[in-house]
């Protein structure tokens, strides 16, 4: 609790600071801030000022990306409010995000509009360790049910990753860094424009020896390394002033060492994981300045190929090899109708087909086992409509959607999001209410042993209410949200291990966030999240117990200091409270408490010359030991340094 009090101190400092700042003309400043407010696209699928939105949304912009230089998307997300996280060891290991206490499979992840949740995973979840930050421009985190615009998988929220689109003259860069665990990364890229062509591309290679995923604490010594090669690009071409063609692509190939399990005897030097993942999108955008209507037509393709294998060892006298090939093809259309300057109608239609093939073979003391999942597909199609309205101080959006799935039939979702701004005091009142759904995966529908073709979709109902206070002249804003989500028809298993809609869950909590520009060179942000996540399944022996791996308390603090025109320093502190987990080595599995922890990270960069920049970071500065998943090690203190040359 002392740590929680520590994080509340900067919050009150924000308020007290404003008390002693000189008063200025609030209305004039507020209008100026409104015009300069960041523009986001994820909340409404249109370019909308952040101030107009009732949605709980966070932007991680290019400046923050440059200041932190995180190794991958997962590391960057950990300090954001409203989410918790788990990682089974270091770089390359399974990394998952829990938005507002929901399951990792209840968050939809987008990459330049491409849905990248793994179709070949039983839960259609996403592994955040696979996505490097190469060529990324910004990330938008949208909380709450979002199926009205995004369809399946968006029960708890959406994380949208947007890559760079080049402008201006050609710019090249080469970057190299190295550090603890014999980690090395080399990357390079280009971006710019030529007449009507805009482009950006990057390529990178990362390699690390890592450490024992099963943790040296339990006597494990075999290191689990990782190697990842990535390519990313985005291009746009203006055929006509009102017609643009855009293309985006990202490809990742990785080889990662795993362990059998966390804890004693978990080491396995033969366990390897191979990943090949590609995401591609092409679209045409028509926008005529004199027209009341613009539209976008696009096609996306995502492929995820995973291979696992291990051989017999002393403590694991079995062997296995498996392959999971999942693909997702989607066609979409969106049109925006501008009836008046204060009203926008958005219409959309899309159809998506998922295809999966898998093979699993194992040999153990109990004999051989084979499970082959033949090529299987399913299609989901949907239509939606949304209305955005602006009337003096009131901003609102309302939308409905209807989806048709080949197996379970239809799913209807809706979302309402009003906001009211009192310009004279800089106060915004906001609320959202909506529903979400998740289609059953092909595994849950058709697996010979566990599948059930009669499954219904998982469902969620959620709402939040909040208030944001802007001290325009002081560069300070603070906000607080209360949220609640109810999940029903969640997938579980009957006594014969057949998948059925049986489970329920409820999450609720409070989010606090604040930021301040102390001067033009100093900015700090602070946030705190309280989450209660409960199992509400009527027939479960765990009814009303806490969902595992969700902390009740989580807080983060970030201070950025530009100490000269050439230098920048950033300090980040993340506190995660006690969590419950399960010891699956025992039968029945026993609940255990994972202790709270505090990690401190420091990032520094300095430009020696206009073209040469040095940078470095220290992660887990005080070398605290902690486990995010029972038995699995997390990185100790690690230091990295590098150089970037830009031309």
The whole-angstrom separation of Cα 86 and Cα 99 is: 12
Q: Backbone dihedral region of 193: left (phi > 0), alpha (psi from -120 to 50 degrees) or beta?
A: beta
Residue 5 is predicted with a pLDDT of 46
Task: Give pLDDT tens digits for 158-169.
Answer: 999 999 998 889
State the pLDDT at residue 357. Answer: 96
Whether the predicted pLDDT of 11 surpasses 70 = no
Query: What's the rounded mean pLDDT across residues 446-465?
Result: 94
Q: Is the pLDDT of residue 18 over 50?
A: no
The predicted model gives 337-361 an average pLDDT of: 95
Separation CA 150–CA 157 (nearest Å):
10
What is the average pLDDT across 451-463? 96
* Per-residue confidence (pLDDT) for residue 633, from 0 to 100: 93
pLDDT, mean of residues 308-322: 93
pLDDT tens string 364-401:
988 999 989 999 999 999 999 999 999 989 999 999 99
What is the model's pTM? 0.93
Q: Which helix (H) or strand (E) holds 206?
A: strand 197-211
Of the pLDDT bands very low, low, confident and very high (cuts 50, 70, 90), residue 22 is: very low
Look up tokens 């709270």; give the residue: 596
β-bridge pairing 107-111 and 157-163: parallel
Task: Give every CB contact of residue 335 below 8 A, 6+ residues apart in sequence.
Answer: 293, 294, 295, 296, 346, 347, 348
For 614, counting Cβ atoms within 10 Å of its Cβ (0-12 exposed, 13-18 middle, 19+ buried), the class is middle
Which three-class secondary structure string do you get for 435-477? EEEECCCHHHHHCCCCCCCCCCCEEEEEEEEEEEEEEHHHCEE
Q: Which residues pair with 169 in a beta bridge?
A: none
Express each pLDDT in 184-202 by its tens digit: 999 999 999 999 999 999 9
Does residue 28 register a pLDDT over 60?
Answer: no
* pLDDT tens string 138-162: 999 999 999 999 999 999 999 999 9
Could you tell me the two tokens for 577? Answer: 């409270």
Residue 12, pLDDT > 80, answer: no
Domain 2-646 listed as CATH 2.40.170.20? yes
Is the model's pLDDT at 337 over the cut of 70? yes
How confident is residue 258, by pLDDT bands cut at 50, 70 and 90? Answer: very high
Please write the tens of the pLDDT for every residue from 388-444. 999 989 999 999 999 999 999 999 999 999 999 998 899 999 999 999 999 999 999
As a whole number of angstroms, the distance between CA 574 and CA 252 comes to 29
Distance CA 283, CA 142 (A): 23
Domain locations along the chain = 2-646
Shortest CA distance to 165 belongs to which of 133, 203, 135, 196? Answer: 135
| Rounded (10°) CA dihedral 93, 98, 104, 107 | -120
pLDDT of residue 495: 86
Whether residue 7 is predicted with pLDDT greater than 50 in this model: the reply is no
Q: For the chain, how long is the longest CA-to-CA vector?
A: 79
- What is the C-alpha separation between 131 and 566, in angstroms, rounded? 29
CB–CB of 164/200 below 8 Å? yes
DSSP string over 544-590: TPBPTT--SEEEEEEEEE--SSSEEEEEEEEEE--EEEEETTSSSPE
Structure tokens at 382: 């949907």
**Span 505-523, mean pLDDT?**
94
pLDDT digit string (tens) for 351-360?
999 999 999 9
Q: How far is CA 165 from the centre of its chain?
A: 21
CB-based contact 560:545 (threshold 8 Å): no
* DSSP class per residue in 571-639: EEEEEE--EEEEETTSSSPEEEEEPPEEEEEEEEEEESSSSEEEEEEEESTT-----SSTT-----SEE
Side-chain half-sphere CA neighbours of 474 within 13 A: 22
According to DSSP, the residues that pair with 533 across neighbouring strands are 507
215: pLDDT strictly greater than 60: yes
**pLDDT tens per residue across span 66-95:** 998 888 899 999 999 999 999 998 888 999
Range 305-319 average pLDDT:
93
* CA nearest to 40, candidates 331, 322, 388: 388
Q: Which two tokens stand for residue 553?
A: 């308390």
Peptide bond between residue 49 and the one before it cis (omega within 30 degrees of 0): no
**Residue among 227, 304, 314 nearest 270 (CA):** 314
Q: Which residue has the tokens 């607080």?
A: 480
What the block records as the tokens of 326 is 């999942």
Residue 60 vs residues 57, 205, 415, 515: alpha-carbon distances, Å: 10, 24, 25, 13
Q: Over the stretch 580-617, which tens digit does the pLDDT of each residue have?
A: 999 998 888 999 999 999 999 999 999 999 999 999 99
Exposure string of 504-538, with b = 16+ CB inside 10 Å and e = fewer, is bbbbbbbbbbbbbebeeeebbbbbbbbbebbbbbe
Lowest mean pLDDT among 31-45, 220-234, 490-504: 31-45
């Amino acid at each position: 609790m002392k740590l929680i009090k520590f994080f509340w101190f900067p919050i009150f400092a924000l308020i007290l600071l404003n008390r002693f700042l000189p008063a200025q003309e609030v209305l004039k400043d507020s209008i100026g801030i409104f015009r300069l407010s960041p523009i986001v696209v994820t909340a409404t699928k249109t370019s909308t000022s952040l101030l107009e939105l009732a949605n709980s949304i966070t932007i991680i912009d290019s400046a923050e990306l440059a200041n932190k230089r995180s190794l991958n998307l997962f590391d960057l997300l950990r300090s954001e409010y409203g989410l918790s996280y788990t990682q089974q060891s270091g770089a390359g290991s399974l990394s998952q995000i829990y938005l507002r206490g929901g399951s990792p499979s209840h968050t939809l992840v987008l990459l330049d509009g491409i849905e990248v949740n793994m179709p070949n995973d039983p839960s259609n979840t996403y592994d955040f360790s696979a996505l490097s930050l190469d060529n990324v421009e910004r990330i938008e985190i949208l909380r709450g049910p979002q199926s009205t615009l995004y369809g399946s998988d968006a029960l708890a929220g959406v994380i949208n990753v947007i890559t760079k689109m080049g402008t201006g003259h050609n710019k090249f860069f080469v970057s190299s860094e190295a550090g603890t665990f014999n980690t090395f990364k080399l990357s390079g890229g280009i971006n710019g424009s030529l007449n009507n062509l805009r482009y950006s591309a990057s390529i990178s290679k990362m390699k690390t020896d890592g450490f024992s995923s099963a943790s040296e604490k339990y006597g494990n010594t075999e290191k689990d390394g990782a190697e990842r090669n990535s390519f990313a690009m985005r291009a746009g071409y203006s055929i006509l002033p009102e017609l643009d063609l855009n293309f985006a692509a990202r490809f990742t190939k990785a080889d990662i060492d795993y362990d059998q399990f966390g804890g004693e005897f978990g080491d396995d030097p033969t366990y390897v994981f191979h990943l090949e993942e590609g995401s591609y999108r092409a679209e045409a955008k028509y926008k005529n300045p004199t027209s009341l209507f613009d539209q976008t037509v696009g096609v996306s393709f995502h492929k995820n190929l995973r291979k696992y294998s291990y051989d017999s060892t002393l403590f694991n006298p079995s062997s296995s090899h498996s392959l999971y090939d999942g693909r997702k093809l989607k066609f979409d259309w969106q049109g925006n109708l501008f009836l008046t300057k204060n009203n926008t109608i958005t219409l959309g239609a899309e159809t998506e087909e998922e295809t999966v093939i898998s093979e699993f073979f194992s040999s153990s003391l109990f004999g051989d086992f084979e499970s082959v999942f033949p090529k299987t597909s399913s299609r989901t199609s949907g239509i939606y409509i949304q209305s955005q309205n602006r009337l003096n101080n009131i901003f609102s959006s309302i939308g409905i959607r209807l989806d048709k799935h080949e197996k379970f039939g239809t799913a209807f979702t809706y979302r309402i999001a009003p906001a009211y701004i009192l310009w004279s005091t800089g106060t915004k009142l906001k609320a959202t209410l909506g529903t979400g759904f998740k289609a059953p995966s092909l595994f849950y529908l058709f697996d010979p042993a566990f599948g059930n073709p009669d499954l219904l979709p998982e469902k969620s109902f959620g709402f939040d209410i909040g208030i944001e206070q802007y001290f325009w002249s002081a560069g300070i804003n603070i906000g607080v949200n209360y949220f609640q989500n109810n999940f029903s028809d969640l997938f579980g298993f009957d006594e014969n291990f057949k998948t059925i809609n049986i489970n329920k869950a409820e999450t609720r909590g409070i989010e606090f966030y604040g930021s301040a520009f102390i001067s033009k060179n100093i900015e700090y942000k602070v946030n705190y999240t309280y989450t209660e996540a409960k199992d509400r399944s009527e027939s479960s022996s765990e009814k009303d117990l806490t969902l595992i791996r969700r902390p009740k308390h989580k807080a983060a603090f970030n201070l950025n200091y530009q100490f000269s025109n050439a230098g920048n320093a950033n300090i980040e502190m993340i506190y995660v409270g006690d969590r419950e987990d399960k010891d699956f080595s025992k039968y029945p599995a026993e609940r255990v408490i994972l202790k709270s922890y505090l990690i401190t990270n420091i990032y520094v960069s300095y430009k020696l010359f206009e073209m040469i920049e040095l940078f470095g970071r220290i992660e887990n500065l005080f070398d605290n030991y902690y486990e995010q998943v029972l038995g699995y090690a997390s990185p100790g203190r690690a230091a990295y340094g590098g150089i970037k040359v830009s031309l």
